[in-house]
Amino acid sequence: MGSGSSVNVNYKYSLQKSENAFKAAVLIQRWYRRYVARLEMRRRCTWRIFQSIEYACEQDQIKLHNFFSYLMDHFTPSSSKERDFISRMFVSGESVKEAELEKYCDYESLEVPDSYTGPRLSFPLLPDHATALLEAFKQKQQLHARYVLNLLHETRKHLKQLPNISHVSTCYSEEVTVCGDLHGQLDDLFLIFYKNGLPSPSKSYVFNGDFVDRGKQSLEILIILFTFLLIYPKEVHLNRGNHEDHMVNLRYGFAKEVMQKYKVHGKKILKMVQNVFCWLPLATLIDQKVLVIHGGISDTTDLDMLEKIQRNKPRPTQAPSMTNRLEFSRWVRQTVQEQIEWCRRLVDISESEDEELTYSSMVSLTDLDGPCWTRQEEWKQILDILWSDPMPQEGCKVNTVRGGGCYFGPDVTGKILEKYNLQFLIRSHECKQEGFEFCHNRKVLTIFSASNYYEIGSNRGAYVKLGPDLIPHFVQYQANKTAHTLTMTQRISRVEESAFRALREKLFAHTSALISAFKAYDTDNTGRISLSNWATAVESVLRLGLPWRMLRPQLVRSTADGMLEYKSWLDDLAMEQRSQEHIQSSLLEVIYRNRSNLETIFRIIDRDHSGLISFEEFHQTWKLFSSHMNIELTDDGINDLVRSIDFNKDGNIDFNEFLEAFRLVKQSQ
């Protein structure tokens, strides 16, 4: 009897113990799920901040082109010098004549000194040359300018023979590897080659654009890719991205990188790269079933047109908007002039013996009786495939977030796939946390190969391999060793801190506009607004599409009554930025908001990329700007201004002096 009672007690004790353990496990699980959910929410908010700021910068780039278009429409040159100056500002690399480019890129005249210890190239290139380059770049060595120019010269000759759409085939023992954006991150390319193997007759690669900008080793990536392209022309394929464009390079760092690494011959290298970019193919077809393009498609994408247009002619980021009669008439005049010039070349082509017959010229000669498209239509085709993004909704609409291309829905994808008998699309152009992402019922695959793109730990890089069955196999990686040592919490905290720092800079850059927006809600002029009105006002100014109410705790100190003293909040933002630069707050705000545009403008004016502009160029520039900025400056006034900001009295103006001129003008307003 006693024994049975003891067993019963033990059973109840064990049952209670198990029940407590189960409850504890449920509580731990519930806590962990909430913890992971909060981390995921923080990660998504951080991601949206980075993407919104990145796309806003791309909008600024498009707006800068519109700014120059406006200046061109509203400024009448008063002399031949002014006309020459304007034409030099806007002449593009693809407009340079063949003979002029050959003379300009006179690499044979450059001597390689005996003291040079870097790699040496001889043409035709061999696999050993590629291996030597890889090892040299790992050791932080620099390729001599003679070899860089020679490589660009040979690459350009090869690219000119290629069609607009490359065709790649797989066989039973072979697979094709597709890589996305690299953006100057050489370590990612090294890791891809380490994991997947170097290009070879049995290892084909498609690199899907955006090789340059943002990262610090864009030129090294170009040199490596162009070298493998020349060694294995049937196995290595390069698509053009939206960053393979000179105007974009002026803003996002590649032009500056080249000039810093090659101070003497950087100008020649940039000019050659600019022209090489114009000849990069626009797309790649794998087994006639998988279309690889950098950005995306639209409801008007026409692969037949893309195959036949002269890809070196259009400027994708400078398509004229046909919204007003003035722009339309100017575009018509330009198009007519180009057609006249084209006819002249056509008449003289039989008399020109040194003119090289390229793929593009053969197409234009053999298709004289075929369809004739306007430059505007060709522009739109290239703009769409370089800049567009997929969206989950049906339809096709203007990509207002980036400022170029369009958003295309699953219905648009389906129609293009059906029209051209394709299985799916591979595109890049967007950073993805895992390095890849499917959408549109797995009919659109985004692949992005630059790991840690926004910050260390922000994202993985990836590449995709396709065999004869065309089933995608993904490989993910983190090129930065530090990222492997961070916990998930540490990684998210680090990325989050970087994102909010960038966001605070963005807020500070719009201080004046924010004050006006806040005052609209502060009708009694108390200096205080509700936190809800704060969020609405901030979005109305920055237009980043961010969840400001969710981000508010990271940006605004909590208040007991739910009201914010916005002037003290803006003072705190200014104090944070002023600790980095000792400039008057209002002027610093203007510089923060306009620095990228100003630097791009400076580099456009600085045609020889010397880092200096002459007094005459400065004089003509400010006459041009005054028509848009409503600033009345006489010739004597501009001369006084230029003398006052030439601090070192060397007769030229560098970028810091250029910024000073901007400050002086803003002070005078």
pLDDT tens column, 364-414: 433 444 455 566 788 889 999 999 999 999 999 988 878 788 999 999 999
Contact 317, 196 (CB under 8 A): no
Sheet containing 396-398: which strands, arranged edge to edge?
A: 389-390, 406-408, 396-398
284/261 Cα distance (integer angstroms): 32
Phi, psi of 338 (to 5 degrees): -65, -40
Question: Taking the alpha carbons of 70, 72, 78, 81 in that order, is the dihedral positive or negative?
Answer: positive
Q: What is the CATH number of domain 606-665?
A: 1.10.238.10
Q: Where in the chain is the domain with CATH 1.10.238.10?
A: 489-578, 606-665
- Tell me, what's the pLDDT at 659? 60
- Tell me, what's the pLDDT at 381? 92
User: Partners of 238 in the beta sheet?
Assistant: 207
In the residue annotation, 265 being an active-site residue is answered as no
CATH number of this structure's domain 92-315+401-477, picked from the four choices 3.60.21.10, 1.10.260.40, 1.25.40.10, 3.30.70.20 = 3.60.21.10
- Say which residue the tokens 């003291």 belong to: 115
Contact 379, 319 (CB under 8 A): yes
| Nearest residue to 269 via CA among 207, 212, 209 | 212
Structure-token pair, residue 296? 């995306």
Structure-token pair, residue 10? 């033990």
Q: What is the pLDDT of residues 42-76, one digit of tens each?
A: 888 888 888 888 887 776 666 655 555 555 555 55
Structure-token pair, residue 273? 């790269």
183/198 Cα distance (integer angstroms): 19
Low-confidence ranges of the chain (pLDDT < 70): 1-7, 9, 11, 59-99, 172-173, 314-375, 558, 576-601, 603-611, 621-651, 655-669
- Tell me, what's the pLDDT at 370? 46
Structure-token pair, residue 255? 């032009």
Q: What is the dihedral of CA 518, 521, 525, 530, to 10 degrees?
A: -80
578/511 Cα distance (integer angstroms): 13
- Tell me, what's the pLDDT at 69? 53
Encoded amino acid at 72, one letter = M
Whole-number Cα distances in Å, 339 to 281, 336, 462, 502 = 23, 5, 44, 47
Mind giving me the DSSP string for 229-246? Answer: HHH-TTTEEE---TTSSH
Helix (H, G, I), strand (E, B) or coil at 290: strand
Contact 221, 212 (CB under 8 A): yes
- Tell me, what's the pLDDT at 25? 86
Structure-token pair, residue 553? 């705790």
Fold of 489-578: Recoverin; domain 1 (1.10.238)
Q: Where in the chain is the domain with CATH 3.60.21.10?
A: 92-315+401-477
28/34 Cα distance (integer angstroms): 10
Alpha helices in 579-634 (DSSP H): 585-605, 615-629
Find out whether the peptide bond into 547 is cis, omega within 30 degrees of 0: no
Distance of CA 588 to the CA centre of its chain: 26
Q: How many CB atoms lie within 10 A of CB 428?
A: 30
Catalytic residue, from 65, 144, 237, 243: name it: 243
Structure-token pair, residue 6? 């003891």
**Helix 2-74 × helix 548-555 angle, to 10°:** 100
Computed on alpha carbons and rounded to an integer, the radius of gyration of the chain in Å comes to: 29
Contact 514, 541 (CB under 8 A): yes
